[in-house]
């Protein structure tokens, strides 16, 4: 198997694992919505926010860990050794609270003043707030890849990885290819976006900087087996 092929296999396994994590986050958040009573919005919103934030923080940590593991395996295969990932697991509580409140209770309140049917409006707010929570959870992995490739001297950036059914916004961004510069460091993602990213390494980095036995072609059987076990774990995880 060529290095490029191996890298894309690993990238796809990681993308799918993050997408599943996103789906699981949405399911969690659809459930926490039961804490909201549309007729007592002001009283019930704080507890919903508290529980939802806890759920998202947990999922975000999982997303960041998954990305860190992915970075380790990718770099091992490309460069021959690992680089300590910059793990971005802490959720931005202020930004998250704003996202959840605006897409959930505030949107519902607005719909109620417009005399929309309550059940339908509540269902919409439930879905849109869950989608925004998913974005905050998956930011853990996305930011881990962006920050690590920025810190890693052997990395030259990352590229966006989409599913076959990506929206136009995401397809356009993916078509731009590698992201190198400071200005585009932050991963642009809309709510419900399932895009991931792939680290890109400087060709031949290992040739000049590292001793030959660490080179990819000389990976030990144990290192290769470890990489394969991790990829299998991503594929199998739910
Ligand atoms: Zn996307």
CA distances from 218 to 70, 81, 196, 207 (A): 20, 11, 29, 12
Question: DSSP label at 210?
Answer: S
Ligand 1 centre to CA of 71 (Å) is 20
Which residues are near ligand 1, the ion (C-beta closer than 5 Å)? 170, 193, 195
pLDDT for 41 beyond 60: yes
What DSSP designation does 187 have?
A: P
- Residue 59 confidence (pLDDT) above 50: yes
Q: What is the pLDDT of residue 5?
A: 80
pLDDT of amino acid 174: 85
Give the predicted TM-score (pTM) of the model.
Answer: 0.86
- Output the CA 221–ligand 1 centroid distance in Å: 36
Q: Is 174 exposed, middle or buried (0-12, 13-18, 19+ CB in 10 A)?
A: middle
């Amino acid at each position: 198997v060529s290095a490029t092929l191996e890298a894309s296999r690993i990238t796809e396994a990681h993308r799918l694992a993050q997408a599943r994590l996103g789906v699981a986050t949405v399911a969690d958040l659809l459930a926490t919505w039961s804490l909201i009573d549309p007729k007592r919005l002001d009283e019930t919103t704080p507890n919903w926010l508290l529980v939802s934030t806890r759920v998202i923080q947990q999922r975000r940590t999982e997303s960041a860990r998954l990305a860190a593991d992915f970075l380790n395996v990718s770099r091992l295969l490309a460069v021959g050794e690992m680089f300590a990932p910059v793990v971005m697991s802490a959720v931005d509580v202020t930004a998250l609270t704003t996202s959840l409140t605006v897409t959930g209770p505030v949107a519902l309140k607005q719909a109620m003043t417009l005399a929309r049917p309550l059940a339908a409006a509540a269902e919409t707010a439930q879905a849109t707030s869950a989608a925004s929570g998913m974005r905050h959870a998956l930011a853990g992995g996305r930011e881990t890849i962006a920050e690590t490739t920025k810190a890693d001297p052997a990395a030259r950036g990352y590229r966006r990885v989409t599913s076959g059914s990506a929206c136009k916004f995401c397809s356009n961004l993916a078509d731009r290819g590698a992201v190198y510069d400071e200005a585009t460091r932050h991963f642009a993602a809309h709510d419900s976006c399932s895009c991931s990213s792939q680290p890109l390494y400087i060709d031949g980095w290992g040739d000049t900087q590292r001793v030959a036995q660490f080179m990819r072609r000389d990976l030990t059987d144990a290192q290769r087996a470890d990489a394969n076990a991790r990829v299998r774990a991503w594929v199998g995880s739910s």
